[in-house]
Amino acid sequence: MRACIISGGQVTDYAIIKSLIHNDDTIICADSGYNHAVKMGINPDILVGDFDSIGVVPPDVKSLRFPARKDLTDTEIAIEYARDKGFKDFLLLACTGTRMDHCITNVLLLKGFLERGENAVLQDEHNEIMLTNKKLSFQGAPGDIVSLVPLQTCCGVCTNGLEYPLNEAILYVGKGLGVSNVMLEETASISLCEGLLLIIKARD
């Protein structure tokens, strides 16, 4: 079972976002993420947050309201709710957009999942974002763009199934060596000895 968290970020193509959701996912909306769910014809299992964005909460929707003055973002509240319910697998949607503060914070939330041994992917219409500190295999299609973005110096980086191979490479923060690689097969893998590495499957 997977927790699908729909936040209040930007959605430009609801058909693509809806296609990422599985029928057996538990849908948790963070505040105005509920508006996205409605536009996709999805009834969430629960709505959480301070509701400063959504305004009026529909009476027929299960909800948990939190104070506006709080230490966690609404997205973090949704994640903690799912953890309390025992979820270890997460899909984060509508977590990117024009608010770069929220966007960067949401991407960096992947670090917490990694530290807990949980599986988490953040996706939008153009990006599938994952984080690893050891090894990660992922699916795609030949020709898919894959970028490796270090959050700290990454040592011993090796790739398999990508057009431009890396073998015991060092990726430095602020350097673009790992950007715009290409998948050769339906499965690729990345490994490293040290560091934190974002893997981003991107499309224009």
Cα angle for residues 46, 63, 59 (degrees, 5° grid): 110
Q: pTM of the full predicted structure?
A: 0.93
Q: State how far the Cα of 57 lies from the Cα of 135, in Å rounded to an integer.
A: 42
Cα–chain-centroid distance for residue 61?
Answer: 25
Q: What is the pLDDT of residues 46-72, one digit of tens each?
A: 999 988 888 778 888 898 888 777 788
- Ramachandran area for residue 156 (φ above 0: left; ψ -120 to 50: alpha; else beta): left
State pLDDT tens for residues 145-175. Answer: 999 999 999 999 999 999 999 999 999 999 9
Please report the pLDDT score of residue 53 as a whole number: 85
Instruction: Identify the pLDDT of residue 70.
Output: 78
Q: How many CB atoms lie within 10 A of CB 115?
A: 10
